Amino acid sequence: MDSLRPPRHRLDRRALGWWTVQAAVFALPPVAVLALLTALIPPARTWLGLSLGVVAAIGLTYVLVMPTWRYRVHRWEATDGLVYAVSGWFWQRSRIAPVERIQTVDTSSGPLQRMFGLAGLVVTTASAAGPVRVQGLDRSLAAELAETLAARAQAVPGDGQ
């Protein structure tokens, strides 16, 4: 049996900045709270300071490693017959959807994604596994892909019609 090749396209490089800001927003609050508690509670300063150091080291590692790691893993491809995406970090997930099974195609963009000029593509099928998601695309590319995939799904007789 032949193995499945990886999808051809990487995400936009701006996804690295988006994921870095996301990671910082996630990692900074616990560090800030522990720093404040360390400053305000002198009798517990030793234990709180130690906790602060551990949490800060873990948070900094996460902020520095996660974006690059995810960028190396996440890939996508859309052909005439299918949409294929690989995502994840530790647990990697491959999702393939035949065009004839596409029910809806949407774009999504949160505030941080918009700040970086990025958007996501959400391709919904009747699968119980959920939609195929490609996050971190250039906003105009995501809109163009959504239109193209919707037109392809409309042109193929099957579940998409």
Residues 89 and 150 occupy one common structural domain: yes
- Residue 77: beta bridge partners? 84
Domain ranges, residue 58: 10-71
Residues 87 and 136 occupy one common structural domain: yes
Global pTM value:
0.86
Which residue type sits at 1?
A: M
23 found inside a domain: yes
Give the three-state DSSP class for 128.
coil
Residue 131 sits in a domain of what CATH number? 2.30.29.210
Residue 137's contacts (CB-CB under 8 Å, 6 or more residues apart) are: 11, 12, 76, 118, 119, 120, 121, 145
Convert the pLDDT of each residue in 117-147 to its tens digit.
Answer: 999 999 998 887 889 999 999 999 999 999 9
52 found inside a domain: yes
- Residue 92: beta bridge partners? 88
Residues 151 and 129 occupy one common structural domain: yes
- For residues 101 and 160, the answer to whether their CB atoms sit within 8 Å is yes
Convert the pLDDT of each residue in 43-57 to its tens digit.
Answer: 999 999 999 999 999
